[in-house]
Amino acid sequence: MPIMRFLIMNGAGNRFAVFDARGNKGFVISEEKVKIICKPGSSVMGEKGADQLIIIRDPKAAGADAFMEIWNQKGFQVDACGNATRCVGWLYMRDHITDSMVLETNAGLLLCAAAGKNQVAVDMGAPKLEWNQIPLKEPMHTHHVDVKLGPIDNPVLHNPGAVNMGNPHCVFFVEDFERAQPDKVGSMIEFHPLFPEQVNVGFAIVKSRDKIRLKVWERGVGMTLACGTGACAAVVAAVRQKRTDRRVEVEVDGGTLQIEWRESDDHVIMTGPVELESEGSI
């Protein structure tokens, strides 16, 4: 088996095991191996484990510089991860001494650009907002979707916005996390029958027109310190419900992300930090 570059990186605390498989078409990984590597306490990732396992591959599409394959902690592939996009984009730009690159994912091509020391901006593209793009089980408006938790006359959670930012999200706007209990109810909503592909669940406190505090339960992972696509989805949902302006600072447990939903082209721009924890070979 050839030696491969291996890195541990995080974006705002969202932690990744990164395999650089460019030039190594024969490298494959199994669902069970992903679970073993990502599990907290593993010999590879240590006590914290990894939220996702990332494989960097040679690009498939014209105009792309690299392809990113994303596996979550539970061993299945997903199409998008905003924090991992920043990490891989930063790595490519560092290695190739450039200030921009195009990263290919199953969700499409994403333009990454340097935005300061260990900061990367990613054009996440336009959000998908139709019911069958989320996807939902049945037709309905996605500004608010019919999901409630708690007593009918006084639900604890209700009327989340639904957004697809490369993967499905529903975002609840809450007064406080203690009452919402995201770590307890996240799994219930992830598997709600309205979402046939499961869903990432955001819990957002709007502090002002330009600031949100966010926690995210990621499908197949659980609570994480940060979720880049979740931060993008929260801002889109907040704007659609007239809660915030289009440029918002999103505070997550692992740090701060700057999100702008541009009116000019409908694209969402995410800017945030990258940290390289270790680099070696495996």
Residues involved in catalysis: 81, 227
Please give the C-alpha separations between residue 145 and each of 76, 93, 189, 280, in angstroms, as whole numbers: 26, 40, 12, 46
For the four alpha carbons of 166, 53, 230 and 248, in that order, the dihedral sign comes to negative
Q: Give the span between the Cα atoms of 116 and 198, in whole angstroms.
A: 36
How would you classify the pairing of strands 119-123 and 108-114?
antiparallel
Q: Is 38 helix (H, G, I), strand (E, B) or coil?
A: helix
Q: Which two tokens stand for residue 201?
A: 């669940």
- What is the C-alpha to C-alpha distance for residues 29 and 43, in angstroms, rounded to an integer? 17
Sign of CA dihedral 183, 184, 185, 191: positive
